[in-house]
């Protein structure tokens, strides 16, 4: 079980602190609506040796202790990378939405997707919205990620969540009980998937153009050396 704490911001801008215990974590994989986009992401990962999934979407069950709101995570080596995703959290505050990164070891991913996800922390933001406040305009939400490496900042991912399966669709396929969290799928990266070296960072954004607000989180990687 993992304890997290959100500043839950409602549509008026009012916020309240909500400590939440998460005891179940699911990652929705290959969760696009557009089959061509799914094939593009499959092709990206195939270049890294990752096998084609047997079905799409699929749901990976991971340990909830991977969730972190820290600004730095430790990973082994320089073959891991993150990706921006909407994250749903079912709590006694109701269903919440925040932004997070399904940080994954790409070298291990060629061996086993679930294992590769389990070996890396999963950063999430400290702010969250109530799902009911965005339910009716979910498809207008926008995901963005910026990669920071070697002193340069570049767009890593950008697009509408309308290209992904809707939250309602995912919840119908994999319902969330109280204390459960789910990463909702990601967008194709710009320029290909690149491992993060020591000190590299990823900035995450989930923007709501209807209510004109943005959830943000940034984290840096500390790459631990591999001793054989």
- Looking at every residue in the chain, the average pLDDT score rounds to 93
Which tokens hold the place of 99? 């932004």
Rounded distance between C-alpha atoms, residue 170 and residue 185, angstroms: 10
Q: Is the predicted pLDDT of residue 50 greater than 90, yes or no?
A: no
Residues 22-41 have pLDDT tens digits of: 999 999 988 888 777 777 77
Q: Is the predicted pLDDT of residue 54 greater than 90, yes or no?
A: no
| Nearest Cα to Cα of residue 28 among 167, 164, 185, 160 | 185
Rounded distance between C-alpha atoms, residue 206 and residue 137, angstroms: 13
| Nearest Cα to Cα of residue 209 among 115, 148, 150, 144 | 144
Residues 145-181 have pLDDT tens digits of: 999 999 999 999 999 999 999 999 999 999 999 999 9
pTM: 0.94
CB 85 within 8 A of CB 41: no
Share above pLDDT 90 across residues of the chain, in percent, rounded to a whole number: 80
Residues 63-106 have pLDDT tens digits of: 999 999 999 999 999 999 999 999 999 999 999 999 999 999 99
Dihedral sign, Cα of residue 104, residue 108, residue 111, residue 112: negative
Domain-by-domain residue ranges, the chain? 2-224
| Nearest Cα to Cα of residue 15 among 143, 131, 130, 182 | 130
First-to-final CA distance of the chain: 32
- The number of angstroms, rounded, from the C-alpha of 39 to the middle of its chain's C-alpha atoms is 19
What pLDDT sits at residue 172?
96
Which tokens hold the place of 216? 């943000």
What pLDDT sits at residue 218?
98
Rounded distance between C-alpha atoms, residue 183 and residue 61, angstroms: 11
216 or 51, higher pLDDT: 216
Share above pLDDT 70 across residues of the chain, in percent, rounded to a whole number: 99
Rounded distance between C-alpha atoms, residue 55 and residue 52, angstroms: 9
CATH number for the 2-224 domain, one of 3.90.850.10, 2.60.130.10, 2.60.40.290, 3.40.50.300? 3.90.850.10
């Amino acid at each position: 079980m993992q304890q997290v704490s959100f500043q839950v911001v409602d549509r008026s801008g009012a916020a309240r602190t909500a400590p939440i215990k998460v005891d179940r974590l699911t990652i929705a994989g290959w969760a696009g609506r557009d089959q061509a986009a799914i094939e593009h992401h499959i092709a990206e990962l195939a270049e890294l040796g990752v096998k084609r999934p047997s079905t799409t979407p699929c749901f990976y069950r991971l340990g909830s202790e991977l969730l972190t709101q820290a600004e730095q995570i430790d990973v082994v080596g320089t073959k891991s990378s993150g990706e921006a995703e909407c994250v749903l959290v079912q709590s006694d505050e109701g269903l919440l939405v925040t932004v997070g990164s399904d940080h994954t070891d790409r070298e291990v991913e060629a061996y086993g997707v679930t294992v590769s996800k389990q070996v890396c922390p999963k950063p999430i933001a400290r702010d969250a919205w109530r799902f009911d406040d965005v339910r009716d305009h979910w498809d207008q939400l926008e995901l963005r990620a910026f990669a920071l490496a070697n002193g340069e900042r570049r767009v890593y991912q950008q697009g509408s969540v309308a290209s992904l399966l809707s939250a309602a669709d995912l919840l119908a396929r994999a319902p969330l009980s109280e204390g459960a969290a789910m990463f909702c799928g990601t967008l194709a990266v710009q320029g290909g998937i690149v491992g993060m070296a020591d000190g590299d960072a990823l900035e995450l954004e989930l923007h709501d153009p209807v209510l004109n607000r943005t959830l943000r989180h940034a984290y840096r990687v500390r790459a631990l050396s591999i001793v054989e």
